[in-house]
Structure 1
Amino acid sequence: MTLIKQRMFIERMKKRENVITMNLEENKDLTKKQEKEQKKEQKKLERAEKKQNKTPMDAAKKKKVIRRSIIGVVAGVLVLFIVISNIAAANTKPVVYTAQVSKGDIAQTLSTSGTVTSEETKTYFAPISVKVGEINVAAGGTVQKGEPVITYDQTALMNEKKTTELKLQASEGSYNSSVQKNMESIGDLGEANVNLDVLEQQITDIDNYIKELQQKVNDKKAALAYEGSLLQISLIDWADKPDSDEYENLQKLVQTNNYEQTNNKDIRAWQDEITKYTDMLSNCKEYKAEMKSQKTSADGTKLNEGGKEELEANVQMQSISSQTALDSINEVENGVLAEFNGVVTEMNVVEGATPAVGTQLFKLESTDDIKVTIEVTKYDLEKLSAGQKAVVTIAGSKYDGEVSKINKMATKNNSGAAVVSADIKILNPDEKIFLGVEAKIAVDTAKVEQTLIVPASAVNTDVDGDFVYAVEDGFVVRKPVTTGISDSMNIEITEGLEEGAQVMTEVSAGITEGMAVSAVPQE
């Protein structure tokens, strides 16, 4: 029970106590009046008795008479009190507490919690394969934009740069050498033509032999597999006699067959031979390519157009690759720099390591663009929309927020309920915010000014919809209503009531429509 509801309950109890006290005071007045009448009657009886009995009573008898008189008076008063109380209870109307329908402002708020995350995240990969010198920021540390997170060993970096420059020179020299060699190879044209015929036949023969060997491997594997399936069937047939010699023998045969399928000596020998002849075939094809290249180079006094284009393409690719490597080296001469202010959430290398090109180095998450990710159910989803303002509370500090994104696909939470995640962007982040911590969110989902409102406890619901019990001319009247938004205390009434009407804030047992009641307005 909230503090406001507790106060309202106490006030109602005080008012009920005042009504009961008033009834008791009235009963007391009636009782005192009746007591006076009894005393007068008692005195009349005493005077009459004195006249009849001239002989004075003894002290003991006198005490008995007085005691009996007092008991009679008390009993009479008690009976009278009970009768009066019953009559008063029968005639007293039930007390109900009401509130006035009034106009006011009402704001609907969605309260929940979520996790603080970054809206901008970047993963850095190794642009070069050079030894790491120093790691300046460990995982969990902060870094400012432009500061180096890691640096490379300067000696290794300079060696890599020099090597790349030499590769570029070598590529250019190789091109020049190839052109010159092409001119010198014209005399080898005859040799190339003879060798090409021989190589063509060798390649055909080797290729056919490899296919024969492969077929043997396939046939042997198929046979072993077929044998294995038959053994499995037999093993199933003997499964009801697991202790029999036949079942044990079948198990051994199955194991042997499994071994043979992967370790058969014939298959292994054929595969080794296939590998050998495949290498031979590759060499022949390579040599054939060389002879073709030699023939092409030697066919005429200059390189034909196809060979020339290929040669030029290769040298261009090598040039581009080397130049890209040089650019990467120059870019990290001062280290791998942070592109924005943030926190290093992952560090994937250590000092002294030489990561390959493309290896993940670290992950950086921005501390300038921060959000809180929340999950809402279908009941709250309809209240949420992009652009709504929010208050974000993190470790006791409050920040301005705004609904920046609502996912279009629901997921299941730990309880199995369908939820939709949404992002609340923090508009004024500072250095006190930590990523990964929990934040409390209060989103202003709706607000209406100067609308009809009643306490939320006054609205009831049944199969026919929402309704309230109003008190009109001392009688209970059921009023169907249409509600709007609500907050922790009040609810908006869009149809069914007028300003100034009195509605019951609570419906106790026995209160029905048409009943006469005594209304006690709540402040």
Structure 2
Amino acid sequence: MKKGKKIVIGIVAAAVVAGGVYLVTGGTGGEAQLPQVSVTKAETGDVEEIVDATGTVVSDEQKTFYSPVNAQVKKVSFADGDSVSEGTKLVEFELKDLERDNQKAELNVKSGEYDYKNSINKSNQADQKQKDAKSKVATLEQQVKDKQNYLASLKSQLSAVQSQAAADAQAAAQAQAAQAAAEAQAKADAQAQAEAESQRAYADALNTYQTKTLPAYQKELGELNTAYIKAQGVYNQADTAYQMAFAQWQADPSDENAQALDDAEAARSQAEIDSQQAKEAYENKKADQPQMPEYADFASTGQEDFVTDGTEGSGQNLTDQVGDPSAAVSTSVDTSGIENAIEQASSDLADLQSDLATQKSIAEADSTSLTKEEKEKLRLTNNLTELDAKSAKELVAEGKKGIKADFNGVISKTAVQQGATVTQGMELFTLQSTDKVSVDINVSKYDYAKVKEGQTADITIGDKKYTGKVTKISHLATTNEKGSTLISATVSIDKPDEDIFLGVDAKVKIYAEKAENVVTLPAGVVNIGKDGSFCYVLKDGVITRQDITTGISSEDAVEVTDGIKAGDEVIEDLGSLEEGMTAQAAPADSSDGTADAEETANE
């Protein structure tokens, strides 16, 4: 438009010049003169491109605030569009519910710690019990073996004593028979026969007790003890499962976990009943141990006491006890001592075998102690409870702090009201910074190549001016409603103040590329054709077209990089003249007159 304006003025000036030429030639009636044209010289100077644009003032920084807690809003200290300062408390919360949740969480932590310690202690006790049982097995096995050998020795000693007693009685009877009458001999023989029958009956009863009754009892006692150990193990596992279910229910009291806790408690109760019943059956059987038969129940007369130490199975010589043959007839050998020793040894052996079976069952049973994974799960459950408590404590702290402005700015998108109940993560409002402000502009396709990040700019907002800098250029073009291609850019404002309002229009003047100490021409003398830029010069008095290469340009001047050098004269305006016509440069005074003529023509 400026070039076009200059062309119009040039035409008027040319007409005036032509009129002046006519006046010269016509008025004097002398020889015709060449037409004159105004010229200007190419100069060395600076050229700076300036890109003008308009845009909207926006905030470079904005933050949307969300509720950090589930609580009721006690106070809201702003409205949409309010300007607030950094540190201003904007929202306050009611703390009653948050503090109650914190107390509940702390109690859950303590309960979880007790449950965890209890489960670990029980697990350690079960583990130690199994280790102790394994260490006792070898000792008990050796004790059982020694007791079996001792019992066998006692039985052998008893048999020897009984056989010797029978032999001595028979010898005594025979000696007495030699001195006694036939009737006495018959009576002695009958008595010896009865004694032998008693010995055989006792031996049979003792054999039945040792080979059938006692082993059957010991086997049944061992089975009942094994059943009791297994029942106790089942109870320990059920108790551990109940503790874990209880800890899980405390961490998450859902219906599913509550049902799992009820099932675990029912299983533990049943296992405890089964364990108690198995224990009673074992104790009853242990108290009902069969008694070893006594010889006195089978002999018709008593004998002298047989002395034994209970360990070596030795006794007095039968002859020493009986004395002379006549004493043997009227008395019998007393084997109650050895018999008592056998009974005691059998009872001790049964106890040892029972203890051995018990310890083997404990040592070989599935461990009721917690596995590494179960301990880790309990620890994690306890940690989760602690984290919940920590979270509850932190929420109380967050609620006490409320929400403060992180920077100076303007409130927008308000979604919270005083007295309303908000949930954690709920959007409350947005704060747009007024400390970091910029202008969003659109640059036309003719100018976007000139705009670069880092270029300075002047910004006008209302009647106030600011300085700024291009900070961002989009590489994605858009099209406006007229179909023109635009490139968006951002110009930051250096020192925004309280007079800036977000969302208003702003004018931006970007100082683009600058060339210093280059050849320049006035913008009005440079023409643009389909083959490039050109201007007109007088070459040997002839108007000649001169192709030139241009660089950057401003409103008033154009950089020339080729075709024209400093000092060259360029025709300002052809007026009605054309290329190839002869002409001469108008003198400086004439140029001033031409300018006056231009102004007169414009008027």
Deviations 1:3-48 (A, max 9, x none): x986896687467436525634764566xxxxxxxxxxxxxxxxxx
Query: Does the CA contact (< 8 Å) of 1:400 and 1:426 recur in 2?
Result: yes
Letter in 2 for 1:20: G
1:189 aligns with 2:230: no
How far does residue 339 in structure 1 lie from its aligned partner after superposition?
0.9
Query: Does the CA contact (< 8 Å) of 1:470 and 1:478 recur in 2?
Result: yes
Query: Does the CA contact (< 8 Å) of 1:469 and 1:479 recur in 2?
Result: yes
Match of 2:522 in 1: 455
1:113–1:416: structure 2 CA closer, same or farther, 3 Å change rule?
same
1:147 aligns with 2:88: yes
How far does residue 377 in structure 1 lie from its aligned partner after superposition?
3.8
Deviations 1:144-185 (A, max 9, x none): 1111111123xxx13312321321222331442466479599
Match of 1:481 in 2: 548
1:292–1:309: structure 2 CA closer, same or farther, 3 Å change rule?
farther
Q: Unpaired segments of 5 or more residues in structure 1?
A: 31-83, 197-281
Match of 2:19 in 1: 20
Match of 2:65 in 1: 124
1:495–1:455: structure 2 CA closer, same or farther, 3 Å change rule?
same
RMSD: 3.8
1:176 aligns with 2:221: no
How far does residue 300 in structure 1 lie from its aligned partner after superposition?
5.0
Match of 1:491 in 2: 558
Q: Secondary structure at the match of 2:492?
A: strand
1:172–1:418: structure 2 CA closer, same or farther, 3 Å change rule?
farther
1:505–1:328: structure 2 CA closer, same or farther, 3 Å change rule?
farther
Deviations 1:485-522 (A, max 9, x none): 1111221111111222221233446502x310243365
Measured in 2, the distance between the counterparts of 1:393 and 1:190 equals 85
Q: Unpaired segments of 5 or more residues in structure 2?
A: 127-230, 242-255, 273-365, 593-603
Instruction: Map residues 249-288 of structure 1 onto 2, 5 A cutoff.
Output: none
Match of 2:75 in 1: 134
Q: TM-score normalized by structure 1?
A: 0.62
Number of aligned positions between the proteins: 372
Letter in 1 for 2:54: S
Q: Secondary structure at the match of 2:422?
A: coil
Measured in 2, the distance between the counterparts of 1:127 and 1:284 equals 30
1:345–1:472: structure 2 CA closer, same or farther, 3 Å change rule?
same
Q: TM-score normalized by structure 2?
A: 0.55
Match of 2:465 in 1: 398
Q: Secondary structure at the match of 2:71?
A: coil
Deviations 1:370-423 (A, max 9, x none): 111222244323212221111111112111101112234334444454433221
Query: Does the CA contact (< 8 Å) of 2:6 and 2:524 recur in 1?
Result: no
How far does residue 472 in structure 1 lie from its aligned partner after superposition?
2.9
Letter in 1 for 2:453: A
Match of 2:383 in 1: 316
Query: Does the CA contact (< 8 Å) of 2:108 and 2:385 recur in 1?
Result: no
Could you tell which deviates more after superposition, 411-420 or 136-145?
411-420
- Within the candidate set 448, 459, 463, 1:381 is matched to 448
Match of 1:166 in 2: 104
1:148–1:328: structure 2 CA closer, same or farther, 3 Å change rule?
same
Measured in 2, the distance between the counterparts of 1:482 and 1:509 equals 26
Q: Secondary structure at the match of 1:318?
A: helix
Letter in 2 for 1:466: S
Match of 2:212 in 1: none
- Within the candidate set 102, 119, 133, 2:43 is matched to 102
Letter in 1 for 2:404: L
How far does residue 359 in structure 1 lie from its aligned partner after superposition?
0.7
Query: Does the CA contact (< 8 Å) of 1:472 and 1:502 recur in 2?
Result: no
Letter in 1 for 2:234: L
Query: Does the CA contact (< 8 Å) of 1:142 and 1:343 recur in 2?
Result: yes
How far does residue 435 in structure 1 lie from its aligned partner after superposition?
0.9
Q: Secondary structure at the match of 1:333?
A: helix
Query: Does the CA contact (< 8 Å) of 1:188 and 1:294 recur in 2?
Result: no
Match of 2:403 in 1: 336
1:428 aligns with 2:495: yes
**Higher alpha-carbon Rg:** 2
Percent of matched pairs sharing the same residue:
29
Measured in 1, the distance between the counterparts of 2:538 and 2:435 equals 58
